[in-house]
A and B are shown apart, each in its own frame.
Chain A
Amino acid sequence: DVKVTQSSRYLVKRTGEKVFLECVQDMDHENMFWYRQDPGLGLRLIYFSYDVKMKEKGDIPEGYSVSREKKERFSLILESASTNQTSMYLCASSSRGINYGYTFGSGTRLTVV
């Protein structure tokens, strides 16, 4: 069964900490994406990557950065966590051309205190 795996299901971090969220896919997908999901706001795209070492800003990149050193791994970095970054973070991947949609990871629920 193909998978997108996110390293943590729940995380609690302190304000100002640097936070790493890891995502690994085993489907040899070119595209990888990071979204956050908040009640009433839906899924909002933070960053995405169409290839190794390539990244593009999504709709809400402020306060985040990403890294894609290998095709299967896409990391989201919160440089200095703030309480307004408390959210559900979802990683997704897709083949180029997105013919079959995205496959999502199970999500990381991050709480910043």
Chain B
Amino acid sequence: RKEVEQDPGPFNVPEGATVAFNCTYSNSASQSFFWYRQDCRKEPKLLMSVYSSGNEDGRFTAQLNRASQYISLLIRDSKLSDSATYLCGVTYNTDKLIFGTGTRLQVFP
């Protein structure tokens, strides 16, 4: 079983839709959690950290479920510019981030 798993997608959604991605992790000792956005042929860029209590940044909401060992990213009112690959990253007792392979989102008009 992979340490961090994501549904590769693609998720094809119309503009204005709400879409959610999950990312599961295998190690219950995981400490820090992040969502990154990666555009085609570009580097990943930090979208948001994921806090235990959940956190929101505009149209984006991240949540952590330690009991079921997954994190989620919810995007409301999707824009065409949200089309990208979304990577989750998890650490275990070190500063090394282990990434999922990413979920591709395509927003269409």
Q: A-side interface residues toward B, CB under 8 Å?
A: 31, 33, 40-43, 45, 48, 50, 58, 90, 92, 94, 96-107, 109
Contact B101 A31 (CB under 8 A): no
Knowing A40-B101, A100-B49, the reply to whether A105 touches B95 (Cβ < 8 A) is: no
Contact A48 B96 (CB under 8 A): yes
- Number of CB contacts from chain A to chain B under 8 A: 53
Count residues on chain B whose CB falls below 8 Å from chain A CBs: 21
Binding stretch for chain A, among B39-47, B65-73, B74-82: B39-47
Knowing A43-B87, A98-B91, the reply to whether A104 touches B43 (Cβ < 8 A) is: yes
Residues of B within 8 A of A92 (CB): 97
Contact A106 B97 (CB under 8 A): no
CA distance A96 to B96 in the complex (A): 10
From B95, which residue of chain A is reached at the shortest CB distance? A98
CA distance A48 to B43 in the complex (A): 18
B32-53: which have CB < 8 Å to A? 32, 34, 36, 41-46, 49
CA distance A11 to B97 in the complex (A): 26
Contact B101 A104 (CB under 8 A): no
